[in-house]
Amino acid sequence: MDFNIKSGNPEKQRTACVIVGIFESRRLSPAAKAIDTVSKKYLSNLIRRGDMDGTKGQYLLLHNVPGMIADRVLLIGCGKEREIDDRNYRTIIANSIRTLNNTGSLDGVNYLSELPIKGRDHDWKIRQAVQIAEHTLYEFKALKTKEKKNRRPLRKITFTVPTRRELPQGEIAMQEGRAIANGIKLTRDLANYPSNICTPTYLAQQATALAKGHRSLTVEILEEADMKKLGMGSLLSVSQGSARPAKLITLDYKGSKKAQKPIVLVGKGVTFDTGGISIKPSPAMDEMKYDMCGAASVLGTLAAVAELGLPINVVGVIPAVENMPSSTATNPGDIFTSMSGQTIEVLNTDAEGRLILCDAITYSERFNPGVVIDIATLTGACVIALGKHASGLLSNHNPLARDLLNAGDESGDRAWQLPLWDDYQQQLNSPFADMANIGGREAGTITAACFLSRFAEKYHWAHLDIAGTAWLSGSNNKGATGRPVSLLMQYIINQTK
């Protein structure tokens, strides 16, 4: 999609469709008022007749509105003006884009980016609007052969700022929004590919392709033999049941001085999680193709950082494996030595995410990180605790947790913090090894993070459990969401300021 920023009156726009808001009850937004004036009360007459009262979800498509150069005017119901908060704004923009896309317009000028929202500036509104537009129009059609193409697809969306003064800033906000949206799209595509296509090798190829496209990005792929030399017994224990070889992918983005400590992002890349010998039940097991959403979000974030050329250093580390049952797979009770030297008793082979992450976190030491953030579809318990609305956040450093929570609020890609108290650590006690890989039924998300924390003691570290937020289930809108790319990008952008 092409995006554009403009200021100026709606009646002057030469476009297929001008989009303006109507508030509850029967009140015209400033842009709608301007159209009402040039059209000699065309809009207010319609509204008085009862065609529309401004309720959220309503819309009205008008043709040949007097005094307008544009072919169409699309009125969008926005609800009560004073009640437009972040969440309502997002729904309103999404409604407007979905409706616009169904009108057959090739382009549109959208005045809803001027709606008043408490505590939000023009930049925020533009950044969000661009992301929501891409998000709303996203489809994953790569593997369908019989879909007919939309013959008149929407090509260009223009968002507006009130005056010329806001144009330069608006332009930057638009570019940020577009880069983040592109990163999210990459993340969703990678995640939506099934496990017979999106294998560890495929992820490594995608990372390599990404690095080819940007001079600021370099890639390194470690093979199983390399990992063995490094002593990554924990990571390799997950992969040993699969015929598909594990890869450890590193993407290094240099946007700042060499000496600046990087943000290291570690993404869980289990391209399919059968559970291994502790095999999962069949219903909905297909969704375990999404167990690499953490990895995909790291790739998407680095793509966006590189597209923007942000003045910061970021490293992405992706342990990519497939968790399979086979005669060479790990048996429950098997004990492995991690790269850190600590031994782990694998009581449940389905708690595999932490086994690959712990070695990747230890490996991250070599980048001398400022902070390490891991992103993982780690626990079903997190889905039970927070559902699909918030990612779980746990950290050994409260200022880092704060920064991430704030970035979540600002981007609308929210997280919620859970405690990482030492009280929970004893649940990981093992009679035979330094620790077990599971901590019992209670507080499953916390004990998983406790496990990881034992490998992150040397730095400021945070863990995002995205098991509930990374994809949506159900046949209707099933698919990857691209979360938490938006949160991570907001965090990184904030760090550059």
- Give catalytic residue positions: 280, 354
Helices (H), 163-277: 167-192, 200-212, 224-230, 233-239
Residue closest to 310 by CA, chosen among 253, 362, 357, 363: 253
Say whether residue 351 binds ligand BES (CB under 6 A): yes
**Residue 322, interface with Mn ion (CB under 5 A)?**
no
Sole window of 44-52, 132-140, 178-186, 380-388 interacting with ligand BES (rule: CB under 6 A): 380-388
SS3 443: coil
- Cα Rg of the chain (Å, integer): 25
Tell whether residue 465 is a contact of ligand BES (CB under 6 A). Answer: no
Q: Which of 238, 383, 405, 452 binds ligand BES (CB under 6 A)?
A: 383
The residue length of the chain stands at 497
Residues between 254 and 273 with contacts to ligand BES, criterion CB under 6 A: 273
User: Which of 31, 78, 386, 467 is close enough to bind ligand BES by CB under 6 A?
Assistant: 467
Asked if 381 is part of the footprint of ligand BES (rule: CB under 6 A), the reply reads yes
Prior bond of 262 cis (ω within 30°): no
353 belongs to the binding site for Zn ion (CB under 5 A): yes
466 contacts ligand BES (rule: CB under 6 A):
no
Task: From 284, 289, 277, select the one nearest 348 (Cα to Cα).
Answer: 277
| Interaction of residue 114 with Zn ion, rule CB under 5 A | no
* Residue 350 in the binding site for ligand BES (CB under 6 A): yes
Distance (Å) of CA 415 to CA 28, 306, 445, 494: 36, 24, 14, 16
Specify the residue, 21 or 353, whose C-beta has the smaller distance to ligand BES.
Answer: 353
Nearest one of 372, 388, 347 to 449, comparing CA atoms? 372
CB of 360 to Zn ion, least distance (A): 14
CB of 286 to Mn ion, least distance (A): 14
Q: At what angle do helices 293-308 and 200-212 cross, to 10 degrees?
A: 0
- From the list ligand BES, Zn ion, Mn ion, none, pick the one residue 348 interacts with, judged by a Cβ distance below 5 to 8 Å according to partner type: ligand BES
Given the rule CB under 5 A, which of 27-35, 245-253, 264-272, 470-478 is the region that contacts Zn ion?
A: 264-272
Binding piece for Zn ion, criterion CB under 5 A, among 48-56, 284-292, 379-387, 391-399: 284-292
388: nearest Cα among 287, 483, 454: 483
Q: What values do phi and psi take at 222, rounded to 5?
A: -95, 135
Nearer to ligand BES, 252 or 350 (CB): 350
Binding mask 216-255 for Zn ion (x = CB under 5 A): ----------------------------------------
Sign for the pseudo-dihedral over CA of 230, 231, 232, 238: positive
Residues at the site binding ligand BES, with contacts judged by CB under 6 A: 273, 291, 348, 350-353, 377-381, 383, 438, 444, 467
